[in-house]
Copies of this chain bind each other. A is one copy, B any other.
Amino acid sequence: MHADGTPPPGSGYGSGRLGVDPEAEVVESVGRLIEFWGFKRALGRVWALLYLAPQPLSAAEIGDKLTMSSGAVSMALNELQLWGTVTRAHKPADRKEYFRAEEDIWKMVTRVLSDRELREVDSACETFQRAEETLKEQSHDAKERAAKEEHSDLDFRRARVGYLRKVATHGRTLLKGLILTSKLDASPLRLLNRKN
């Protein structure tokens, strides 16, 4: 199938507008989405390319199609593998490594949510909690020193930090619920499907 690197540039297909390569569009779209989600765009592009490939691809092929340097490809593949989103494969009489995409997208999403977002939120919760404690003490002390103004300021802050903590905790609960549900039935979305 067109042996060299030359893809058929719309080689006389029937109806669709020529010059639009759906594969490339999807690759770029996933790239953007993944970047928006806080990863490097390259990760999204590589993963998407693999996800759309009927057969595993070699590093070289990936570099070609996405015009990335060998180094960039290697790094991206490593990072993707760390996140469990890409696996290595070997073809029998071939020295090269081949790569395929993990196909269960929800598994990946869930993984990231628990390994990254949840951690982040947890850490914020802790900070807020600590801060609230400290402010509570300080406010208390100020009261005893009859430092009225200072007391009420500290108390105001304490209350606000308290609300921050509450919101963060709620967010945490929501995240955990999402993760749990999606782990249980691989369709986390049921949450809202009942009647909404």
Contacts and interface: CB of A to CB of B under 8 A. Distances in A.
Interface of A: 1, 13-16, 20, 22-23, 25-26, 29-30, 32-33, 36, 38, 51-52, 54, 103, 105-106, 120-121, 123-124, 127-128, 130-135, 137-138, 140-141, 144, 149-150, 152-153, 156-157, 160-161, 163-164, 167, 170-171, 173-174, 177, 180-181, 187-189, 191-193, 196
B191 A191 contact: yes
B15 A141 contact: yes
Q: Is chain A's binding surface mostly helix, strand, loop or mixed?
A: helix
A38 to B, nearest CB: 7
Contacts of A160: 51-52, 103
The 8 closest A-B pairs by CB, nearest first: A177-B192, A22-B131, A29-B127, A14-B141, A170-B189, A22-B134, A54-B156, A16-B134
